[in-house]
Amino acid sequence: MTWRGPRLRAEEEAIVDLFARLAGDRGQINDGQPAVADALRAELGGLGLWMIDDAEDDGNPQRVSQLVLSLIGRSWPALGWACAQTRAALTALDAGPTEAREHAEAVRSGSQVVVAVDAAAMSVRLDRNDTSYVGTIHRVDPASALDSIVLLDGDEAVWLASPTIQQSSPVRRSGLDGARTVSVGINGAGISLGNLADEVRSSAWLGAAAVATGIASAAVDQAVDYARHREQFGGPLTDLPVIRATLQRQAALVASSVAAALEADASDVSQAAGVLATACDAAVEVSAAALQVHGGYGYLTEYPAEQWVRDSLSLRAAADAMQAGIRAGRVLAQTNYQEVPA
């Protein structure tokens, strides 16, 4: 595992080393073996590494949490995306009534699963009457059995739990194996958690951006390793200038994406939207370039290159990165700039 990003503190380097060992010891997750994903999720939760809001460091738990999500995204992107949604949902649950806070503690203990869903997403079709909702959320990626949802309805965060969440059915996708994607029926009342929707959105978007950087990092690592060992025209592929240039560009793109995801201001939802859109686009570009470095072998499932492409595309769709990018662009267009005197 090669770290491409800003300089790490000693504590952060220890986290990177820990995940390098975990990735080597733990297998991949997939929809057909839910127990494996559940065990890994419980293990990570027990380590306290993917919800580090109260980290005892220099006062920057957001950066540490982003680092962890990026590292999870390297090896288990579906789980990383689920954890990003959970982290975001906890932001609202922690500020809610007693039963919401109790549910948040159950989530942290690993006995419950919650995700955040934006009502404005293309996959959501809900009608609201006062505090009640009826309709369908056509895509949820919990990577586990789903217990509740924090719905982002305009400025408001609303907690939906059983019996309001009534039924679910599996949904097929191209990548993110292990996401256990479902379509969920909603019929019943929700509990308002206050006007925290933008805070939750920012956390979810930055979390997804971190996972995207993990996918891109894994893809470029694999491409570099393949190019060093694959011989062509009498030497390794890295002897070819065009291959070296491709790898250098993708490595630089990963480094800039990682830095943006780790250093972004979580209180600025528009910045979070821009970071998400950029990171997801970068992950798609880097993954596609890695596949091209592999040549025809890249399309074979025996190599992970095609998986990174599918994962990056699925994450971009699941996180609704296109809509986030549109939002960031609108805010930028509306910003009033003062002319600097000559």
Question: What is the mean pLDDT of the segment spanning 30-46?
Answer: 88
Q: Establish if 106 belongs to a structural domain.
A: no
* Residues 185, 269 within the same domain: no
Q: Establish if 33 belongs to a structural domain.
A: yes
- Best-predicted range by mean pLDDT (32-41, 265-274, 278-287, 298-307): 278-287
Q: Establish if 96 belongs to a structural domain.
A: no
Question: What is the mean pLDDT of the segment spanning 174-194?
Answer: 96
| CATH number, domain with residue 142 | 2.40.110.10
Torsion sign over Cα 50, 53, 57, 60: positive
Which residue is listed with tokens 């609202």?
92
Q: Establish if 105 belongs to a structural domain.
A: no
292-298 long-range contacts (CB < 8 A, ≥24 apart) are 292/246, 293/223, 293/226, 293/227, 293/237, 293/243, 293/246, 293/247, 294/223, 294/226
* Residues 69, 124 within the same domain: no
* Residues 150, 82 within the same domain: no
Read off the tokens for 216. 């891109």
Angstrom distance (rounded) from CA 316 to CA 11: 30
pLDDT in tens, 93-130: 999 999 999 999 999 988 899 999 999 999 999 999 99
Angstrom distance (rounded) from CA 126 to CA 117: 12
Q: Establish if 341 belongs to a structural domain.
A: no
Q: Establish if 103 belongs to a structural domain.
A: no
Confidence band (pLDDT; 50, 70, 90) for 7?
A: very high
* Residues 204, 142 within the same domain: no
Q: Look at residue 218 and tell me whether its pLDDT is greater than 60.
A: yes
Q: What does the pLDDT read at residue 278?
A: 95
pTM for the full model? 0.93
Angstrom distance (rounded) from CA 216 to CA 77: 11
Confidence band (pLDDT; 50, 70, 90) for 329?
A: confident
Q: Establish if 141 belongs to a structural domain.
A: yes
Number of domains making up the chain: 3
Expressed as residue numbers, the domain containing 322 is 198-334
State which H helix or E strand residue 254 sits in.
helix 241-263
Q: Look at residue 340 and tell me whether its pLDDT is greater than 50.
A: no
Q: What does the pLDDT read at residue 337?
A: 52
Q: Establish if 14 belongs to a structural domain.
A: yes
Using a pLDDT cut of 70, give the percent of the chain over it. Answer: 93
Residue 153: what are its φ and ψ, rounded to 5°? -110, 95
In this predicted structure, which of 16-20, 63-67, 319-323 has the lowest mean pLDDT?
319-323
| CATH number, domain with residue 317 | 1.20.140.10
One DSSP character per residue, 113-138 reads -EEEEETTSTTEEEEEETTEEEEEEE
